[in-house]
Amino acid sequence: MFRLGGAALLAAGLGAGAVLAQDATTYPFDGSFDDATFAVENAIVGKGLVIDYVSHTGEMLNRTGADVGSDVRIFDAADVFLFCSAQLSRKVMEADPMNIAHCPYGIFVTDRDGAVAIGYRHLPEGVMQEVQALLDGIAREAAGL
């Protein structure tokens, strides 16, 4: 995890447009939510990977808000694309079988008041940084960076 000071330094190193949360990196997307999800799908498939599942998290949150006593609209839309890389997953799990906890890998797309972003959560130091580099490459490609 990054502390605030480290996050600011890392953001400077990532270049313009990257935003770091405590445990995620996001890149702004100049376009619609639908265009961003299309770009993410293409970037994942373009790496020869198969999308296992798309979680429509924004729809679920919007649909269930009243059921849990909330009227807060968190996202206008939010999807999480889940996928794996057989080669990379084998490598990281041969290094430490408990890296299964990070599989499948995810790239998310959010829309909050027209601000569309593409991102991923941070992974632990060590061999999982290879997976994080893959996620960053996919997110950057989809964001047009």
- CATH number (domain holding residue 60): 3.30.310.70
Domain region containing 132? 4-143
Of 12-16, 120-124, 141-145, minimum mean pLDDT range: 12-16
pTM of the predicted model as reported, rounded to 2 decimal places: 0.83
Average pLDDT of the residues of the chain: 88
Angle between helices 128-143 and 86-95 (to 10 degrees): 150
Residue 15: pLDDT over 80? no
Q: How many CB atoms lie within 10 A of CB 58?
A: 22
64, 58 contact by CB (below 8 A) = no
Res 89: pLDDT? 96
The Cα 92–Cα 99 span in angstroms is 6
In the chain, how many domains are there? 1
* CA–CA distance, 121 with 123 (Å, rounded to integer): 7
In tens, the pLDDT along 28-74 reads: 999 999 999 999 999 999 999 999 999 999 999 999 999 999 999 99
pLDDT band with cut points at 50, 70 and 90 for residue 134: very high
